[in-house]
Chain A
Amino acid sequence: MKEYRTINEISGPLVFAEIDEPIGYDEIVEIETPSGEVKRGQVLESTSEFVAIQVFEGTEGIDRNCTVRFLGETMKMDVTEDLLGRVLDGSGRPIDGGPDIVPDERRDIVGAALNPHAREYPAEFIQTGVSAIDGMNTLVRGQKLPLFSGSGLPHNELALQIARQATVPEEDEEGEDSEFAVVFAAMGITAEEANDFINDFERTGALERSVVFMNLADDPSVERTVTPRLALTTAEYLAFEKGYHMLVILTDMTNYCEALREIGAAREEVPGRRGYPGYMYTDLAQLYERAGRIQGQEGSITQIPILTMPGDDDTHPIPDLTGYITEGQIYVDRDLDSKGIEPPINVLPSLSRLMDEGIGEGLTREDHKGVSDQLYAAYAEGEDLRSLVNIVGREALDERDNRYLDLADRFEREFIQQGYKTDRTIEDTLNVAWELLSMLPKEELHRIDEEDIESYYLEEEAAEVAAD
């Protein structure tokens, strides 16, 4: 082992040390303070004369007299099936008082890129029981679908509801176990928030099928850059070695990105937009792209990253770069939340890019695509009319417009609104959708196949509306 006492600069989360033998890029470092405390870090830049080290646990207490040890390897995660049921800290060490972890394998946490040729296109419908998702933005196994939220909004309730309710109906019918195993990675969230998750996992018994990584708000921020990598390495092992269907919840990605920015600033890098590093897109892609399916493999990784948009602004680099990488996004909306809609999902800017392969005849129902498209168009039109009504009043609208307005209201109150405890089947969801669509004359439903209109259009509903 290479050991030095040559620290000559400490700057924010970075330590610079002189060396006289080659050190590998990305190599793991241990820094021992005179008092015996050991901190871990990673080589960010390696030259013949010096190395720059990023210290995960923060640089407080480090001085020139510390010992720097280079471990000769890049960061690894000890993985084993026994991790299920365990709670670890943000660096992967158990904090639940349980037994030591006996690794089955040690894996590099940087994770190699999945060859696009080896991927299998995700197409298995996951029923989350949430209409706004299942009906309008369907999630499939192997997808990465983030929640775009804001501070103080109930994204955690929604994430928990998804984790509780998610099943694959196709497999349930065949009597297979379609339950997910969960990897939960907390990055800089409060202890209270983290406990909400853990308590819910415990209450429902989900903890036994979960691996929890905890970097809390008062934990070192630089550690947040490794926590999701440890989590995803664990998920990859369980999915592609042990055949589990993994649901990975990463929260809060905003804190992760802040840590990246902190390191970039300490390195005096040329900053990109709003001070975030120019390589943040690449860095985030290396996390998000670890979701997916592999041809010929049992398991899968579905990712639900959660991020709070600073100032609720989706053009902020964190949601913006995320949206450019993930396979859609679900918006948790402040206005709907203040209207009391649970979950307050705004479907208009939300999107599931992998929806189309996972829905339709034999998968969900033959009318699903048309119903979703039609509801989108109708709700968007109703939304537009709301602002118009504010100016000209309802009387200035014709009958057609009035129906669209009513539909938009009912859409929020009956379709989106369901509470965090209700688990709707996809049939339920589509049936609610038809109650709304039947408010419109059949001719307006041109995004839906005529045969489907024949099968599902509710004449009584239509008659009622006409009578009003």
Chain B
Amino acid sequence: MSQATATEDVREDGMITGVSGPVVKASGLEARMNDVVYVGEEGLMGEVIEIEGDETTIQVYEETSGVQPGEPVENTGNPLTVDLGPGMLDSIYDGVQRPLDVLEAIMGSFLDRGVDAPGIDLDATWEFTPAVEEGDEVGPGDIVGTVPETESIDHKVMVPPDYEGGVVEEANSGEFTVDEPVVVLDSGEEVAMRQEWPVRRARPTVDKHSPDRPLVTGQRIQDGLFPIAKGGTAAIPGPFGSGKTVTQQSLAKFADADIVVYIGCGERGNEMTEVIEDFPELPDPQTGNPLMARTCLIANTSNMPVAARESCVYTGITIAEYYRDMGYDVALMADSTSRWAEAMREISSRLEEMPGEEGYPAYLSARLSQFYERAGLFTLLNGEEGSISVVGAVSPPGGDFSEPVTQNTLRIVKTFWALDADLAERRHFPAINWDESYSLYRGQLDPWFVENVADDWPELRQWAIDVLDEESELQEIVQLVGKDALPEDQQLTLEVSRFIREAWLQQNALHDVDRYCPPEKTYEILQAIKAYNDEAFAALDGGAPVDEIRAADAPPRLNRIGTTEDYESFVEELIDDMTEELRGLY
């Protein structure tokens, strides 16, 4: 059931027999699992989640205060679907794809209930340019034309996946509403700009491959140490305040995806407001256009109904799949998947289902893997390639990663960015713990970095990892005997690793320049630290005392490369100065 056709073909009526929070029971309702129903006099939107004898259980997507037994329930006979078509970019939806700006216009600043609004504007017209001619043969997934949706994105109008296809009889160009047919096939099928798709079912593709290109994030620690692939999956677990949201937002801003779907699932209202205010102002580093031109936002904040929180990730991933089907690289961020899991738990406990670990339903793990399975690099029905990368934040209670949502997620995703409260406390951001985090894509993405950034990308990275490893071993000794008791070369290693941490791993998401670091710059900074390393050790070998090496004036400027816009000349000069100064010591 999509919002666009909400009022049509309503079927059998039932009657409410019980209400408890977001869960309503009804009798006399003829319904299938997952049918969308309208509950009560106010027609609150809900979904069938359990059928037992004559009793149907419904999760309601809106507040149920005041709803009474005896009120009617209407079945639409359709599952929860989204409207897919031009106009989704530069939009903000709630968890069941109601546009929040339209809702505001209808009901003011606070969300009232019982109001439907289609996911895409049914009255707006779009300029359609056919990509097919009369006589062309087209099948499911084929692109029949384009619509300039935003400054950044051409929306591809496709033959819906459940069509038969056939020979084009008519291909019209011009201005149309989303429901007017733009292409007519000899099968009698008409293609319009709007499709519908049930959110809980993945849109079909031909097959899925192993990804080989990175989703370049513009974040040093991510691109440099723990890269994610286009079509890959990643999890960001961390306690509150460790940087999950800032990291997700940085990805949404700077990752080199064509399309970004950002889901605020059960989190703060102001964080969505921040995105709404910032994204139209910020330029996409790839195109220079406003970020909103490639972004679709879904906001079902913590105070909005919990059932719609359960559905919002499905709404988001279905929209992502639709743009993937056009051949785009889509990145989806879900902040936070824990709130989604908790919504499942809340509904499940109202159903009095047998609880699994920590009260989560036994199907938690299955739901999580079904969701992440919808990510990937795919061959599409039309033979082209498209990808969806999925990054999920996880909010473990008490910051303890042993809990079920984190553990189940870790079994699925291939990139793990572990956030660390201790780093966050000392304002080392991004607080990604370099010992615990990993990326299983590293090896398969290296060829891309070698070809596009630097020949010795893998070696230089390995050097950095080795230094950091050595540092953690040395730190254990320092905790026992103090730094001065270490041999001089080890003291120097600590100095080098401090620069790796402070000048390279740390990146200030709030600084106008530092917030985005192209891979070339990521490489350059590390390269400069390596240059310092080599000169400093040469000086030590040459007899210079470690104290003097540490007291050198130039090296601390390494810490300023990140925030320097014109970094190339800065680095060049810095390396010269460091070299001169350190060589002067012996």
**Chain A: residues with CB nearer than 8 A to chain B?**
21-27, 44-48, 73-74, 108, 110-122, 142, 240, 269-273, 278-279, 281-282, 285-286, 289-290, 292, 294-295, 297, 315-317, 320-321, 323-325, 327-329, 348-349, 351, 353-354, 356, 369, 373, 376-377, 380-381, 388, 391-393, 396-398, 401, 443-444, 446, 450
Q: Determine the chain B residues whose CB is within 8 A of the CB of A398 once the complex forms.
A: 483-484, 547
In addition to A294-B109, A316-B398, 10 A-B residue pairs with Cβ atoms within 8 Å of each other are A22-B68, A45-B20, A113-B301, A114-B109, A114-B110, A282-B306, A285-B303, A323-B241, A380-B425, A401-B483
Closest chain-B Cβ to A135's Cβ sits at a distance in Å of 14
Contact of A46 with B560 at beta-carbon distance under 8 Å, contacts A117-B92, A278-B345, A377-B427 already known:
no
Taking a contact as CB atoms closer than 8 A, the residue among B349, B427, B485 that contacts A380 in the complex is B427
Q: Determine the chain B residues whose CB is within 8 A of the CB of A114 once the complex forms.
A: 109-111, 269, 303
- Tell me if B17 and A48 are in contact (CB < 8 A): yes
10 intermolecular pairs with C-beta atoms under 8 Å apart: A25-B21, A113-B111, A117-B101, A119-B272, A121-B277, A282-B306, A315-B399, A320-B240, A388-B479, A450-B560
- Tell me if A446 and B479 are in contact (CB < 8 A): no
CA distance A121 to B18 in the complex (A): 40
CA distance A100 to B559 in the complex (A): 65
Which residue on A lies nearest to B64, using beta carbons?
A25
- Tell me if B18 and A286 are in contact (CB < 8 A): no
Q: Determine the chain B residues whose CB is within 8 A of the CB of A45 once the complex forms.
A: 18-20
Q: B545 within 8 Å of A by Cβ? A: no
Taking a contact as CB atoms closer than 8 A, the residue among A27, A110, A121, A324 that contacts B273 in the complex is A121
Q: Determine the chain B residues whose CB is within 8 A of the CB of A353 once the complex forms.
A: 241
Q: B66 within 8 Å of A by Cβ? A: yes
Q: Determine the chain B residues whose CB is within 8 A of the CB of A279 once the complex forms.
A: 21, 306, 346
Majority-rule SS of A interface residues = mixed
CA distance A325 to B342 in the complex (A): 14
Q: B446 within 8 Å of A by Cβ? A: no
**Chain B: residues with CB nearer than 8 A to chain A?**
16-21, 25, 63-71, 92, 100-101, 103-104, 108-112, 239-241, 264, 266, 268-270, 272-274, 276-277, 299, 301-306, 339, 342, 345-346, 349, 352, 355, 358-359, 395, 397-400, 421, 425-428, 478-485, 502, 510, 547, 553, 556, 559-560
Q: Determine the chain A residues whose CB is within 8 A of the CB of B111 once the complex forms.
A: 112-115
- Tell me if B66 and A25 are in contact (CB < 8 A): yes
Q: Determine the chain A residues whose CB is within 8 A of the CB of B339 once the complex forms.
A: 281
Q: Determine the chain A residues whose CB is within 8 A of the CB of B112 once the complex forms.
A: 112
Closest 3 CB pairs of A and B: A315-B398, A396-B482, A285-B302
- Tell me if B68 and A23 are in contact (CB < 8 A): yes
Taking a contact as CB atoms closer than 8 A, the residue among A110, A142, A270, A328 that contacts B63 in the complex is A110
Contact of A292 with B270 at beta-carbon distance under 8 Å, contacts A273-B397, A396-B482, A398-B484 already known:
yes
- Tell me if A25 and B65 are in contact (CB < 8 A): yes
CA distance A112 to B269 in the complex (A): 13
Closest chain-B Cβ to A386's Cβ sits at a distance in Å of 12
Q: Determine the chain A residues whose CB is within 8 A of the CB of B346 once the complex forms.
A: 278-279, 282
- Tell me if A391 and B270 are in contact (CB < 8 A): no
Which residue on A lies nearest to B395, using beta carbons?
A324
Q: Determine the chain B residues whose CB is within 8 A of the CB of A286 once the complex forms.
A: 302-303
CA distance A272 to B345 in the complex (A): 9
- Tell me if B109 and A44 are in contact (CB < 8 A): no
| Contacts across chains A and B counted by CB atoms under 8 Å | 225
Which residue on A lies nearest to B302, using beta carbons?
A285
CA distance A108 to B17 in the complex (A): 24
Taking a contact as CB atoms closer than 8 A, the residue among B421, B478, B560 that contacts A388 in the complex is B478
Contact of A373 with B21 at beta-carbon distance under 8 Å, contacts A278-B349, A315-B400 already known:
no
Closest chain-A Cβ to B101's Cβ sits at a distance in Å of 5
CA distance A292 to B400 in the complex (A): 30
Q: Determine the chain B residues whose CB is within 8 A of the CB of A397 once the complex forms.
A: 482-484
Interface hub of A297, A328, A443 (most chain B Cβ within 10 A)? A443
CA distance A142 to B274 in the complex (A): 14
- Tell me if A44 and B20 are in contact (CB < 8 A): yes
CA distance A100 to B145 in the complex (A): 69
CA distance A271 to B556 in the complex (A): 53
Contact of A278 with B70 at beta-carbon distance under 8 Å, contacts A115-B104, A317-B397 already known:
no
Taking a contact as CB atoms closer than 8 A, the residue among B426, B478, B510, B560 that contacts A377 in the complex is B426
Contact of A108 with B502 at beta-carbon distance under 8 Å, contacts A113-B304, A120-B273, A396-B484 already known:
no
CA distance A380 to B427 in the complex (A): 9
Interface hub of A47, A290, A397 (most chain B Cβ within 10 A)? A47
- Tell me if A376 and B426 are in contact (CB < 8 A): yes
- Tell me if B269 and A272 are in contact (CB < 8 A): no
- Tell me if A446 and B301 are in contact (CB < 8 A): no
CA distance A320 to B241 in the complex (A): 11
Closest chain-B Cβ to A299's Cβ sits at a distance in Å of 12
Q: Determine the chain B residues whose CB is within 8 A of the CB of A443 once the complex forms.
A: 553, 556
Closest chain-A Cβ to B425's Cβ sits at a distance in Å of 5
Which residue on B lies nearest to A396, using beta carbons?
B482
Contact of A269 with B349 at beta-carbon distance under 8 Å, contacts A114-B111, A444-B556 already known:
yes
- Tell me if B71 and A22 are in contact (CB < 8 A): yes
Which residue on A lies nearest to B99, using beta carbons?
A117
Which residue on A lies nearest to B309, using beta carbons?
A282
Q: Determine the chain A residues whose CB is within 8 A of the CB of B482 once the complex forms.
A: 388, 392-393, 396-397
Q: Determine the chain A residues whose CB is within 8 A of the CB of B358 once the complex forms.
A: 272-273
- Tell me if B65 and A74 are in contact (CB < 8 A): yes
- Tell me if B559 and A119 are in contact (CB < 8 A): no
CA distance A289 to B266 in the complex (A): 11
CA distance A354 to B559 in the complex (A): 26
CA distance A119 to B92 in the complex (A): 13
Taking a contact as CB atoms closer than 8 A, the residue among A25, A46, A122, A273 that contacts B270 in the complex is A122
- Tell me if A117 and B68 are in contact (CB < 8 A): no
Q: Determine the chain A residues whose CB is within 8 A of the CB of B421 once the complex forms.
A: 349
Closest chain-B Cβ to A376's Cβ sits at a distance in Å of 4
Q: Determine the chain A residues whose CB is within 8 A of the CB of B427 once the complex forms.
A: 373, 376-377, 380
Q: Determine the chain B residues whose CB is within 8 A of the CB of A388 once the complex forms.
A: 478-479, 482
Which residue on A lies nearest to B278, using beta carbons?
A121
- Tell me if B67 and A289 are in contact (CB < 8 A): no
Which residue on A lies nearest to B400, using beta carbons?
A315
- Tell me if B270 and A392 are in contact (CB < 8 A): no
Interface hub of A21, A273, A278 (most chain B Cβ within 10 A)? A278
- Tell me if A46 and B483 are in contact (CB < 8 A): no
Closest chain-A Cβ to B111's Cβ sits at a distance in Å of 5
Q: Determine the chain B residues whose CB is within 8 A of the CB of A369 once the complex forms.
A: 510
Q: Determine the chain B residues whose CB is within 8 A of the CB of A74 once the complex forms.
A: 65-66
Taking a contact as CB atoms closer than 8 A, the residue among A282, A320, A327 that contacts B398 in the complex is A320
Q: Determine the chain A residues whose CB is within 8 A of the CB of B110 once the complex forms.
A: 111-115, 118
Q: Determine the chain A residues whose CB is within 8 A of the CB of B100 once the complex forms.
A: 115-117
